[in-house]
Amino acid sequence: MQKRQKSRFLFSDRWLDRHSIVRNMEAFQDLIVIVLCLGLFAVMLIQLWGIAIALIQPLDYKHVTAKILFVLILVELFRLLMVYLQEHSISVGVAVEVTIVSLLREIVVHGALEMHWVNTLAICGLLFVLGGLLVVCAKTPHMDCMSANTKFCPIVYRGGRERQNELEFQYSRQCDENQPLG
């Protein structure tokens, strides 16, 4: 009895190929992320226009500072989406940076002296935990680096990536040769 290939579903039709489904879904996710990037860029331009208008009118420092910090948060979110497009994974370090800037924005907008002491204590605790997480992220090598096994990752590289690629190409050629025509 011949064992079915792991890359196929139970059906032998070509349109149920798991690799092509995953490739198409990744392309669709990339399209969604690109649309989100364009939307974020448009919101950043609108916010910059709002900052320019706010600087022309009588100056409200709290309002202008909140808008500037909001643009910085949008820039960090844009950077997070760019990292996702390049690596197809979310960068925890960038996400923590976005959260820290968002918390600091809330402190600036609402004023640290005007907050209840419990809220101030909770924000300080959260900032302490996020700072620790940021330090851990900076000291830990990226998981993509370790799984890629490239010479750019000093921990895992043993020069065996070429051999693994050759095995993958042989396997894909075997799968293509075993497929019925039509």
Q: For residue range 121-180, what is the model confidence (pLDDT) as tens digits?
A: 888 899 999 999 888 888 887 654 554 445 555 554 455 555 544 544 554 555 555 555
Closest Cα partner for 84 from 127, 152, 46, 35? 35
* CA triple 140-161-149, angle to 5 deg: 0
Share of the chain above pLDDT 70, in %: 68
Higher-scoring residue by pLDDT: 42, 89 = 42
The SS3 call for residue 6 is coil
- Kindly give the interhelix angle for 61-87 and 18-56, rounded to the nearest 10 degrees: 160
